[in-house]
Every structure is written in structure tokens, then in C-alpha cells.
Amino acid sequence: MTLSPFKTPQQNNDVQGRTDMAMRPRRLRSSENMRRLVRENHLHTDDFIYPIFVDEALSEPVEVSSMPGVFRQSEQSLSVLLKQVEAAKVPAVMLFGVSNHKDHEGTDSFKKGGLMDRMVKRAKDTCPELVVMADACFCEYTDHGHCGPLDHIHNDVDNDRTIENIAKQAIIAAEAGADVIAPSGMMDGQIEAIRTALDQTGNQRTAIMAYAAKYASGFYGPFRDAAGCSLGQGAGPKNRKSYQMDAANSDEAIREVALDIDQGADMVMVKPGLPYLDILYRVKQTFGMPTFAYNVSGEYCMIKAAARNGWLDENIAMMEMLLAFKRAGADGIITYAALDAAKILREQND
């Protein structure tokens, strides 16, 4: 008679005089080395992309009040931070400009000598081997905080004018040295507009990371503080729900990702990460593309705030959260915790 793994030792003993269960999963959890031996997913510094805010109005770094440990960098201090990222063996950064020259269309971001141009050039000049990703959007550069110029007739963002401008922005970033353009506005047709513009200007080698499934989320608040892109009073819609995705939808995310891949995306992203692990899993399983998760500001700050109140162990919770993205299928993670996580991994391996 075969022993049942679901019976207690006493029940099995009654059947065959044995006190052993057929299956004891705890055998493979008996020590740290045993757990390491059978571990299914691992974090590496290779998995991380570090987001950086560059504020042209600053002369030195200033901590973001709502994001402990995250600083707006000056253009000069950017070089110092990039060398720290490189030393930590984090392979990539994503640059966000904090503009002091805002207007209705965000024109500073698509002109030579503007902040986008300057910060990307500085990054590549400082660390030529670092992968530099340029966030391509307009919320940091417009005076109303939306992700493109407004159509005042419909009180919404003008999709087609936005993608026309984002093509110009992509060319500026690519010619400044950006390795990757990462458009985050969720405008229809933005990937095709960028790919066409890059190819026509001799920038075929520049890759595109599509914010393919970006949700209208309550987890972005600290980012908007850091990037200076909170919505203005009375200009345009009161939120971004007419262009970012509805949190209730998952099939729509698959359609959005498929569109971006068809239009020329080299990599795709799900944002936010933690509340959308199901989407991340579906995207990776469906398309098999290089797939990234954005560990957004609200997720990062939840752990920081809870740790400061003594409610949890910050390092343990942070690493568990990052590992969840890998387990769900992420090939990489954009995270403000990249340098802290790299330090923990280095200490674990010493």
C-alpha cells in the first residue's frame, strides 16, 4: 500500500508501521545553504535601473520631502551620482528632467541646449558605458502638468500634437547620446512616431522601452512631488485617466502591449509594479519580450514610512518586494531602491 503524503505520521503508522511522511517539503528549507541550493529566482544588480531627477534650478542635491533617500540632483551633482551607480554595478539609469522653463507644450524638452539635451549629454560624457534611458514625456516640462499640449475644445491632452512633439524630443535625446528612449505618456501611436523619427534621423541603434501598460494609479504621488509635475489648477482635466489605463482592466493591457510591439518597441514595461503583478506575469507569458516593472514612488515610500515607524524591517521588505517582480516575470526593475539593494546584495556575496 502506498503511503499518502496527506496523512499524519500517526495515520501512516496505522497503515504500515511507519512514522515518516512520503513528502516533507521542509527538508529543502533546513538551512540557508539548502535554501540557496533550490532557490528558483534571484536578484542581481544587473536587474536594476536607477531613476534620477535632474533639477536645473539647483546648485546641489536636495532630498525629496516625500521620498526619503531620494534627491533631486543638480546638473553638476549628476556626474557624482552616476559614478556611484556605476561603482555599484547597476547597469542603467533613467533620467527625469525637472524643468525651470515650463510652457504649454513643454518645448524646452525638444530643443537643442534644453534640459533634456544637457542632462543626457552629461550622463554619457561622465559614464559612457552606462545605459542611459531618457524618460520621454512632457509632464515635467509643461506649465499645466499634463503629458502633452491641451486640446481646450475637448478639455483633454491633444494626442496627435503630443506624438508629433515626442518625436522631436526623442531625436534630441538620441543625438545627445541616450541609449534608450522611454516614452511614458500613454499616447496612441507614440512608439511608431518615435521609431520613425529615430530611423529617419540615423538613430536606428537607439532602443525604445515602451511604458506599454501604464495605469492611472494612486501610487504616483511622491514622484509628482519629485518631478514637479502635479496638475495645475483649472488647466485641462483634473486627472490623467483619459490617457493612462483603468486599474480594473487586464485584457486591455495585452492589447496595449501588442500595439507597442507592432510599432517597434524593443522592451515593454508595466507600471506600477506591485499592484499589477498579474499584468506583469501575463505580459511576459504572452509575448516573451524583455519585460520590465516600475517599482514606483508610492511602493518605495510605503516601505520607507512603515520602517521609520518600526512596523517592518526595511531591508527585508524591500528585497522581498523586488524579488516579487522577478518571480512574476520581470527581466528588470526600475527602482529608487537600486543602490540600497545593490549594497545588500554585495554584502550577501562577500
Cis preceding linkage at 272, omega within 30: yes
CA distance 65 to 73: 14
121, 124, 241, 271: the active-site residue: 271
Q: Are 264 and 195 in contact (CB under 8 A)?
A: yes
CA distance 318 to 300: 8
Chain centroid to CA 87: 21
All residues at 6 or more sequence positions from 346 whose CB lies less than 8 Å from its CB, including other chains: 45, 88
83, 102, 168, 214: the active-site residue: 214
Beta-bridged to residue 131, according to DSSP, are: 92
Q: In 3-state terms, what secondary structure has residue 93? A: strand
Is 214 catalytic? The answer is yes
- State the angle between helix axes of 314-328 and 297-308 in degrees (0 to 180), rounded to the nearest 10: 150
The C-alpha cell 520607507 sits at 304
Minimal CA–CA distance to 242: which of 146, 165, 139?
146
CA distance 27 to 36: 13
The helix or strand, by DSSP H or E, that contains position 227, with its residue range, turns out to be: helix 221-227
First to last CA, the chain: 50
DSSP string, 132-176: EEEEE-STTTBSS-SSS-EETTTTEE-HHHHHHHHHHHHHHHHHH
Q: Which residues of 205-240 are buried (b: 16+ CB within 10 A; e: fewer)?
A: ebbbbbbbbbbebebbbbbbbbbbbebeeeebbeeb
Is 7 catalytic? The answer is no
Q: Which residues are catalytic?
A: 214, 271
